[in-house]
Amino acid sequence: MAVASLGYLVIESTDLAAWRKFAGEQLGFMVKDAPGGALWLRTDDRPFRFLVVRGTKDGFVSAGWELADEAAFEACLAALQVGGHAVTRADAATAQGRCAHGLATLKDPAGNVVELFHGRFRDYAQFASPQGVSGFVTGDLGLGHVVLPAPNLAETETFYKTFLGFADTDEMRLQMSPNPADPLLVIKFMHCANPRHHSLALIPMPVTAGAVHAMVEARTLNDVGFAYDRCIAAGSRIASTIGRHSNDEMVSFYVTTPGGFDMEFGCMGLQPDWSTWVPTRSLVSSIWGHQWAPPPSA
Ligand SMILES: [Fe+2]
């Protein structure tokens, strides 16, 4: 019943043209008009990894978690129901809209919308970045990772471990204020059934945009550097300069998306062997770089 990977992310937008420009011209994703007036943002051989739907606000909507097959999907839904979690099975048309054979939705204990699916369609078209990105590290590792708000951190962490098969990778404890007596910010990093260092991280605070950030991993450092230059040239808000994270060793920068959350664009992320991995505890988020911009409201 363990989640296999992060399959897709759903984003709501009042301005699809902004996403078309941002994703295509800055990130180097393939952008395609989708049924219902949505946008498909493609980073590999799946029809989309990001689905941008037209809405009344801008922000993150939901994460789509892939189960290996129908049996794993049904076992996961059964466990959730036994555990008292209300799960809604999507009808065929809704599942089709996610390019999946089976789909169900529920909320995690923090209120984040969780989509579970199996049988993702493939169209076998090749990924060809409009900006020459050599490719993204996806496949069995999923699209990347997502960082979600969870003010009730312990309860939400337990939910993902108990019902969706996640396990600990790292716990980051960060001193966010100049006063050492202030409490540390605790962030939980978890993996699912693939070698990506973390597919999900939880941060104990509410987030207006619905997610803190999503991460895509390009194949090369040059892909990251060229994307960084494109984002700067386009005048996008660089939320963080290029740096290397301590826990997953990702070399990345962060750019604020039209959805208000950030996109981490990185490379060289760690892929641990879970059979020998001992979860780490990190007291710094980066070993170099990653200078963060002041909050947008400052
Ligand atoms: Fe990240």
Domain boundaries, the chain: 5-120, 140-289
| 5-120 and 140-289: identical CATH topology | yes
The rounded Å distance from CA 233 to ligand 1 centre is 23
Q: Please name the residue ranges forming H helices in 67-118.
A: 70-82, 92-97
Query: Hey, which residues does 103 pair with through a beta bridge?
Result: 117
The rounded Å distance from CA 133 to ligand 1 centre is 20
* For range 175-198, the mean pLDDT: 94
The rounded Å distance from CA 225 to ligand 1 centre is 17
The rounded Å distance from CA 235 to ligand 1 centre is 22
Question: CA angle, 142 as apex, 137 and 143 as ends, to 5°?
Answer: 65
Contact 137, 160 (CB under 8 A): no
The rounded Å distance from CA 264 to ligand 1 centre is 6
The rounded Å distance from CA 254 to ligand 1 centre is 9
Instruction: Indicate if the pLDDT at residue 1 is higher than 70.
Output: no
- Token pair for residue 145? 């990772």
The rounded Å distance from CA 78 to ligand 1 centre is 31
Instruction: Indicate if the pLDDT at residue 298 is higher than 70.
Output: no
As residues whose CB is below 5 A from the ion ligand 1, the structure lists 215, 264
The rounded Å distance from CA 91 to ligand 1 centre is 33
Q: Which residue has the tokens 């260092």?
A: 197
Q: Is 179 exposed, middle or buried (0-12, 13-18, 19+ CB in 10 A)?
A: exposed
Cα-based torsion angle of the residue sequence 219, 224, 230, 236 in order, rounded to the nearest 10 degrees? 120
Report helix, strand and coil shares of the chain as percent, to nearest 5.
20, 35, 45
The rounded Å distance from CA 36 to ligand 1 centre is 31
The rounded Å distance from CA 289 to ligand 1 centre is 14
DSSP 31-76: EEEEGGGEEEEESSSSS-SEEEEE-SS-EEEEEEEEPSSHHHHHHH
The rounded Å distance from CA 169 to ligand 1 centre is 13
The rounded Å distance from CA 215 to ligand 1 centre is 5
Kindly report, residue by residue over 17-37, the tens digit of the pLDDT: 999 999 999 999 999 999 889
Contact 259, 51 (CB under 8 A): no
Kindly report, residue by residue over 56-115, the tens digit of the pLDDT: 999 999 999 999 999 999 999 999 999 999 999 999 999 999 999 999 999 999 999 999
pLDDT confidence of residue 177? 86
pLDDT confidence of residue 150? 98
CATH number at 5-120 = 3.10.180.10
pLDDT confidence of residue 135? 98
Give the amino acid at 165.
G
* For range 197-213, the mean pLDDT: 97
State the DSSP H helix or E strand holding residue 9, giving kind and residue range, or none if neither.
strand 5-13
**Cβ count near 105 (within 10 Å):** 17
pLDDT confidence of residue 178? 87
Distance of alpha carbon 192 from its chain centroid, rounded?
Answer: 13
The rounded Å distance from CA 188 to ligand 1 centre is 11
Q: How far is residue 192's CA from residue 114's CA, in Å, rounded to a whole number?
A: 15
Contact 49, 214 (CB under 8 A): no
Question: CA angle, 4 as apex, 278 and 200 as ends, to 5°?
Answer: 60
DSSP state of 24: I
The rounded Å distance from CA 121 to ligand 1 centre is 27
The rounded Å distance from CA 75 to ligand 1 centre is 30
Q: How far is residue 67's CA from residue 1's CA, in Å, rounded to a whole number?
A: 7
The rounded Å distance from CA 147 to ligand 1 centre is 7
The rounded Å distance from CA 213 to ligand 1 centre is 7
- Token pair for residue 136? 């993204």
Kindly report, residue by residue over 119-174, the tens digit of the pLDDT: 999 888 999 999 999 999 999 999 999 999 999 999 999 999 999 999 999 999 99
Q: How far is residue 107's CA from residue 210's CA, in Å, rounded to a whole number?
A: 13
The rounded Å distance from CA 146 to ligand 1 centre is 7
pTM over 0.95: yes
140-289 carries CATH number 3.40.50.1370: no
Contact 79, 153 (CB under 8 A): no
Q: Select from 125, 115, 14 the least CA-distant residue to 59.
A: 14
Instruction: Calculate the average pLDDT of the chain.
Output: 96
Q: Which residues contact 230 (CB under 8 A, 6 or more apart)?
A: 25, 26, 28, 131
